[in-house]
Chains A and B, each alone.
Chain A
Amino acid sequence: MSDIIAITITGILVGCLYGLIALGLVLIFKTTQVFNLAQGEMLLMGTWVTWSFIEFVHLPFWLAIILALIFSALLGIVIERFALRPMLGQSLMSMIMITIGIYSLLRGISLYFWGGPQQTFPQVFPSQGISVFGAPISAHLIIAAIIAVILVIFTYAYFQYTRGGLAMRATAENPMIAQSIGVNVTGAFSRSWALSSMVATMGGVLLGTAMGLSFGLSDIGLKSFPVVMLGGFESIPGVLIAGPIMGLCEFLGAQFLDPLVGGGIGEIIPFVVMLIVLLIKPYGLFGYKIIERV
């Protein structure tokens, strides 16, 4: 019984991290209507930079993260300014193709500077287990999940209760009208990319401190896609619900279905769940239903 509890809780906690990474996708889509396929690579690059500050500059962990977040914000702004902004007004497919190009570029840069082997962060979070309802749960995962949830809540609060967030929501609704009433639309775009990049870096660091850091970390970005689709493309609270759902599906699938099929089913269960939900609710659980009057 304690094993089931451990797997359930672990799945939910890991799902919170998926939700944090998915938040980056939602932030960009919410403001610019662009689905960023380079989210995983932005996560990876921010995490490599954090590691580099610790490894080569010998900065303390907290300072390395702060500097890496600043770097990530600048990276997001540069990407928006020079890759996406010139494409404003172009078709959606063109915008998505641009993000594929950004993916390749960031991948190449990461490979060039940091190469291939696994690297590690110093031990920051405790590695032992904590007993939760009698089940041993990784203390690191608990702390990481709490941080992820706090970040999502803060981001939601920013969108709901600040002028900057209001501007971004207005831009997402209708950029032309937003501009006509004095909203700095391009500034809103830049802010969304900067925030998304920072969120991706935090997600990468939280995962990297647990799993180590290598190029496979960017594949975690792929796991955030079903979270976004399940939660809703524009819904920040949606990622907080969808993430744990996906994590739970993955771990319960691995626990009960893997022995039946020889393994690997846990990886695809979230995508299957996503497909089923989208058949019933095409905009996701909390996505905005768009009605266009002709």
Chain B
Amino acid sequence: MLNRLHTIISILVILSFVLVLTSCAPSAAPTIPAQKATVTVNIGALLDLSGPTATSTQPGVDGIRDFINYENQKGGLDWSGGKVIIKLNEVDNRYDPSISMPAYDKMVAQGYPIILTHQSADNLALKGKAKNDQVVLVTLSPTPGALTPPGWVFANYIDHASAFCAFCNWAKATWKGSGTPKIASLTWDTAYGKAHMCALDYPKQIGLEYVGTEYTPMMPQDVSPQVTRLKEAGADYVWTQAVIISTYLKDMKRLGFQGKLVTGLNTGLIEWIPTVTPEVMAGTMHVSGLIDMAAADPNGPFMKKFNEVTTTLNVKRPHSTFYPNGASAAILVQKAIVSALNTVGDIKKLNGKACYDALVNMKNVDSLGITDKFTFSETQRRGSMSIQVVQAQPDGSIKLIADWTKAPDALEKYPDCAK
């Protein structure tokens, strides 16, 4: 009896081994092809969603969300191992770095390889931490102090001082008047208003004449004294970092000032067209590191994509200065993640370092024309160092008058610019 029991047990054990071994053996000829996996990558975003700058930065936030959601809705981005969905985890920092800091720490603890930021204060506060934690910060605000010396903060476009230098080059190259063009500044008496001032030597270095700087409060009722002095100085171009320009334009027109107001990166002309008559706006220029939606070719790659994205997502987005900023940041993040995944080959190996390597090795990567092609390096943290120049026309339209033009690197030429 006992022998019979032992025999049965032995047979059952042997059968079990056979079953286990056969199930482990590779199939000789699979009948169904293996499915490529869809992976999810979590990224963070520290954005002012309800604070003092919320509504002005909302178009940029919309750009980020739309371009990420669009790809996710299509099933994700392609990489060598399948598809990747990018999950955007936003924190409303209400423009307060004291809210951003703990939110950042939590994102790092959760293993996010990339965090999007929008404020200079956050960039400066987190620059050191990002390097220590080996987390990439992709910022919509090219804060010089955060980008130089190069660390783990990456911007999708050019800084203000370099844009100013690029404009000076353009002014010199296109000048048709007598003598040399005269450039001046009429700007806010704030840190932002002075963002280009570190490069004021540049016009002189290339043979232009810099004829004066005039400051105004952020909401001036009248700028007659300032415009009068600029008129006396004979300024041909007046650079401004001010975001509110209606009073400048009206007073320049009223006082018969012949020079052209040139607005810096964040002061697109789209938002100002409704505030003044075309006659007052005519001739005003905007220097941008991002595509200007009012002047963009409606059949160009970005505008076509914009229409496709907004139609697919069924959202209404007015043309604005900041929407392309968010869209290009989203594209940059997507390309970095896909490139990193292709390099490491496994979602488990995707981390900040992999994304960092992907970014610093990014060369001439298409950005749908929102910026010039993304190019980073070990020493360059601004994805595009080119500008476009658009100009308001007498009929109220905005026209592109200079396509992507490479800018000198003001942060390299003028160390003060990095402070």
User: How many whole Å from A229's CB to the nearest CB in chain B?
Assistant: 20
Inter-subunit contact B225/A116 (CB<8 Å) = no
Inter-subunit contact B221/A14 (CB<8 Å) = yes
- Chain A hits for B219, CB < 8 A: 211, 214, 216-217, 219-220
Interface pairs (9), CB distance under 8 Å: A3-B232, A116-B52, A116-B54, A120-B246, A127-B254, A211-B244, A214-B244, A258-B215, A267-B217
Q: For the complex, is B214 an interface residue (Cβ under 8 Å from A)?
A: yes
The 0/1 profile, CB within 8 Å of B marked 1, for residues 144-186 of chain A is 0000000000000000000000000000000000000000000
Q: For the complex, is A19 an interface residue (Cβ under 8 Å from B)?
A: no
Say yes or no: A264-B189 contact (C-beta < 8 A), given A14-B221, A128-B254: yes
Q: How many residues of B contact A (CB 8 A)?
A: 39
Partner of B222, one of A141, A214, A219: A141
How many Å lie between the Cα of A111 and that of B222 in the bound state? 26
- Chain A hits for B217, CB < 8 A: 264, 267
Q: For the complex, is A101 an interface residue (Cβ under 8 Å from B)?
A: no
Inter-subunit contact B275/A212 (CB<8 Å) = yes
The 0/1 profile, CB within 8 Å of B marked 1, for residues 95-133 of chain A is 000000000000000010011111010010001110000
The 0/1 profile, CB within 8 Å of A marked 1, for residues 377-402 of chain B is 00000000000000000000000000
- Chain B hits for A254, CB < 8 A: 225-226
Inter-subunit contact B228/A263 (CB<8 Å) = no
Q: For the complex, is B342 an interface residue (Cβ under 8 Å from A)?
A: no
**A212-270 residues at the B interface, CB under 8 angstroms:** 212, 214-217, 219-220, 251, 254-255, 258-259, 262-264, 266-267
How many Å lie between the Cα of A254 and that of B221 in the bound state? 13
Q: For the complex, is A136 an interface residue (Cβ under 8 Å from B)?
A: yes
**B173-213 residues at the A interface, CB under 8 angstroms:** 189, 213
Inter-subunit contact A255/B247 (CB<8 Å) = no
Q: For the complex, is A199 an interface residue (Cβ under 8 Å from B)?
A: no
User: How many whole Å from A45's CB to the nearest CB in chain B?
Assistant: 16
- Chain B hits for A49, CB < 8 A: none
**B258-298 residues at the A interface, CB under 8 angstroms:** 271, 274-277, 280
Q: For the complex, is A20 an interface residue (Cβ under 8 Å from B)?
A: no
Inter-subunit contact A10/B276 (CB<8 Å) = no
The 0/1 profile, CB within 8 Å of A marked 1, for residues 314-334 of chain B is 000000000000000000000
- Chain B hits for A14, CB < 8 A: 221-222
Inter-subunit contact A127/B277 (CB<8 Å) = yes
How many Å lie between the Cα of A191 and that of B65 in the bound state? 49
Q: For the complex, is A17 an interface residue (Cβ under 8 Å from B)?
A: yes
Q: How many residues of A contact B (CB 8 A)?
A: 40
Q: For the complex, is A50 an interface residue (Cβ under 8 Å from B)?
A: no
Q: For the complex, is A73 an interface residue (Cβ under 8 Å from B)?
A: no
Name the residue of chain B whose CB is nearest to the CB of A219.
B219
Inter-subunit contact A116/B56 (CB<8 Å) = yes
How many Å lie between the Cα of A115 and that of B253 in the bound state? 30
Name the residue of chain B whose CB is nearest to the CB of A258.
B225
Q: For the complex, is A138 an interface residue (Cβ under 8 Å from B)?
A: yes
- Chain A hits for B280, CB < 8 A: 127
Say yes or no: A7-B52 contact (C-beta < 8 A), given A123-B277, A127-B280, A263-B213: no
Inter-subunit contact A136/B256 (CB<8 Å) = yes
User: How many whole Å from B385's CB to the nearest CB in chain A?
Assistant: 29
* 5 shortest interchain CB distances as A-B pairs: A115-B55, A263-B215, A216-B219, A129-B254, A255-B225
- Chain A hits for B58, CB < 8 A: 115
Q: For the complex, is A27 an interface residue (Cβ under 8 Å from B)?
A: no
Inter-subunit contact A264/B215 (CB<8 Å) = yes
Partner of A255, one of B53, B228, B251: B228
How many Å lie between the Cα of A259 and that of B213 in the bound state? 9
How many Å lie between the Cα of A216 and that of B190 in the bound state? 14
How many Å lie between the Cα of A264 and that of B226 in the bound state? 11
Q: For the complex, is B250 an interface residue (Cβ under 8 Å from A)?
A: yes
Q: For the complex, is B343 an interface residue (Cβ under 8 Å from A)?
A: no
- Chain B hits for A128, CB < 8 A: 253-254
- Chain A hits for B214, CB < 8 A: 258, 263
Inter-subunit contact A259/B224 (CB<8 Å) = no
Q: For the complex, is B304 an interface residue (Cβ under 8 Å from A)?
A: no
- Chain B hits for A251, CB < 8 A: 222, 224-225
How many Å lie between the Cα of A10 and that of B247 in the bound state? 13
Q: For the complex, is A70 an interface residue (Cβ under 8 Å from B)?
A: no
Inter-subunit contact A118/B189 (CB<8 Å) = no
5 new A-B contacts, CB < 8 A, other than A6-B255, A128-B253, A264-B189, are: A6-B228, A118-B275, A136-B254, A136-B256, A138-B250
Say yes or no: A117-B189 contact (C-beta < 8 A), given A127-B276, A216-B218, A262-B215: no
User: How many whole Å from B243's CB to the nearest CB in chain A?
Assistant: 8
Q: For the complex, is B220 an interface residue (Cβ under 8 Å from A)?
A: yes
